[in-house]
Amino acid sequence: MFNAFMDDQQLLRYSRHILLPDIEYQGQEKLLHSHILIVGAGGLGAPIAMYCAAAGIGKITICDFDDVDLSNLQRQIIHDTQSVGINKASSAKQFIQLLNPDIEVIAVTEKQTEASMKVIAKNVDVIIDGSDNFATRYALNRIAVELKKPLVSGAAVGFEGQISVFDMRHDKSPCYHCLFPDTGDRNETRCADNGVFSPTVGMIGTSQAAEVMKIILGIGESLEGRLLLLDVKSMQWKNIQLKKDPSCPVCSK
């Protein structure tokens, strides 16, 4: 863990943050003493983890039980050719430790139940969904609602992506279930089955990283109550306003 004050090496490493009036020394200290949970170390989780680690978020827990496959390397840039066959969370940890050895990284390599994931999420500041399936997204949403944690959610497939923030610290915030009700019959649209343009996940993932840091720093306007849609082919972002569902069975109990 970090000391009460940054040393000379940390001051130099994070100097471009410290120069920003919205961050300065105090803001960088907030980042250094924060703890985030990233679920998924794939196309979205890779840029999220890389930028959050580079920015100095002091403790990062990464969950992923899959192993790196050669087909992942087209977009999951936290892994390299030598990572093939290695667990993704472990591979991501290795990269982060090289990128920023000050960061504490916890790699969760076993598949989790919702109950065990809730225990992991209990002491984090922000939950980040970098998964690729609705079951995980709904579970993380329920956990965020129960623990009253901010959830930064992203998804990408083909040339399209989306990102939103569900900040369950605020009573008026919609949750993921408000946006996508769980009817039990959703068809999965996954990169493995449908393909993905590699920069798409990078653009969504880096946007998620920005939202995470804004939440920790308490700066700017988050994507709470908004869904941002990206069409890479036309290079257009579309902003959709979201409202809490007063009859949502998850967040309006």
User: Which residues are annotated as catalytic?
Assistant: 191
Report the DSSP beta bridge partners of residue 127.
37, 151
Strands 59-63 and 104-108, sheet pairing:
parallel
How far is it, in rounded angstroms, from Cα 6 to Cα 3? Answer: 7
Indicate the SS3 state at residue 171: coil
Among 64, 68, 105, CA closest to 83: 68
96-100 long-range CB contacts below 8 Å, 24 or more apart?
96/49, 96/50, 96/53, 96/60, 99/50, 99/53, 99/54, 100/13, 100/53, 100/54, 100/56
- Retrieve residue 33's tokens: 């003493």
Indicate the SS3 state at residue 176: helix
